[in-house]
Amino acid sequence: MLAEVLAALQALPPAGFAALFAVLGLLIGSFLNVVIYRLPNMMDEVWGAEAEAYRQKDNPDWLPPAPQITLSSPASTCGHCGHQIRWYENIPVLSWLFLRAKCSACHTAISWRYPLIELLTGLLFAYTAWRFGPSWATLAWCAFSSLVMALFWIDWDTTFLPDSLTQPLLWLGLIVAMLGSNPLIASAADAFWGAVFGYCLFIPIAWVVGKIKGQQAMGNGDYKLMAALGAWLGWQALLPIVLMSSISGSVIGIGLMLSAKLRSYGNQEGEGGVYMPFGPFLVLAGGLVYVLGWRNILAPLGLG
């Protein structure tokens, strides 16, 4: 049965194979919307339970509460009125268009982000399938696309990069390289050194900036994400990723500050400070390296 399925996939023309993965990407994108919304809430719930367990450590009768939120339950509902979303209201992109971007019960607007994430994931899956064809590389890079998509939006919303996503991204990149299923790097050594250098690269920079500003400049999640990108794209990709993420982050950060839309957070001393997550810019830069190649990005600078 599996052999027949593989033979059928290999018989598809490139456009048909890409279209099949585009549909798969739309479905995965719909699931990623759930992950992006629920995973931070699940983590808050776990941290709250751990804190309560510490407070109740001397109480032998205390039992930890059952999780209230998982990726599969409760059923998806409207965040405004609690209307349970029916299956036909959850079809990627089409339901959003059919409902005219409004809840069918209370008519509250549905964010444009939901169809955007579905469309972007579908496009990335289609591009990957067109580029690599029926191969393990297609599955691997679709997994990469899914993980970085979730990391982008979670970090933008919460300024946090969950270990439950960054670590699988890192280890999967190393495993794919060791299996020889990553055509973007020459050897597993490129992936290994990409991960090592990627993790270490920002540590001295963040230390210096932190000393100057008197507050933490980067989070540990950024180091892990950079290590994961190095594992997937090779150590040669680190320079263009650093250049593009730093430039784009600076430009957008300045623009947001000028428009007074940059979120404010208090530092440990209780003083107000401004902070913008860096992870989304690392993801964007890594995505450009994936699509364009590090040589093509560095060539105009005479470094390719």
And the tokens for 296?
A: 């093509």
Q: Do residues 144 and 32 lie in contact, with contact meaning Cβ atoms separated by under 8 Å? A: no
Is residue 27 over pLDDT 50? yes
280-283 long-range Cβ contacts below 8 angstroms, 24+ apart: 280/152, 280/153, 280/155, 280/156, 281/244, 281/245, 281/246, 281/248, 281/249, 281/252, 282/222, 282/225, 282/226, 282/229, 282/241, 282/245, 283/148, 283/149, 283/151, 283/152, 283/225
As a whole number, the mean pLDDT across the chain is 87
Q: Which residues contact 171 (CB under 8 A, 6 or more apart)?
A: none
Give me the DSSP letters along 198-256: HHHHHHHHHHHHHHHHTS--S-HHHHHHHHHHHHHH-GGGHHHHHHHHHHHHHHHHHHH
* Whether 238 contacts 231, CB under 8 Å: no
Cβ atoms < 10 Å from Cβ of 89: 18
124-145 confidence digits (pLDDT tens): 999 999 999 999 999 999 999 9
d(CA 137, CA 44): 35
Give the burial string for 187-202 (b: 16+ CB within 10 Å, else e).
Answer: ebebbbbbbeebbebb
Over residues 34-59, the pLDDT tens digits come to 999 999 999 988 888 778 777 877 77
pLDDT surpasses 50 at 280: yes
Q: Which helix (H) or strand (E) element contains residue 266?
A: strand 264-266
The residue type of 133 is: G
3 state DSSP class of 304: coil
Q: 2 falls in which pLDDT band (50, 70, 90)? A: low
Q: Which residues contact residue 89 at a Cβ distance below 8 angstroms, ignoring those fewer than 6 apart? A: 95, 99, 104
pLDDT (tens digit per residue) in 139-188: 999 999 999 999 999 999 999 999 999 999 999 999 999 999 999 998 99
For residue 153, what are its two tokens?
């939006």
Quote the pTM value. Answer: 0.89
Grouping H, G, I as helix, E, B as strand and the rest as coil, residue 273 is strand
187-222 pLDDT per residue, tens: 999 999 999 999 998 888 777 766 766 666 677 899
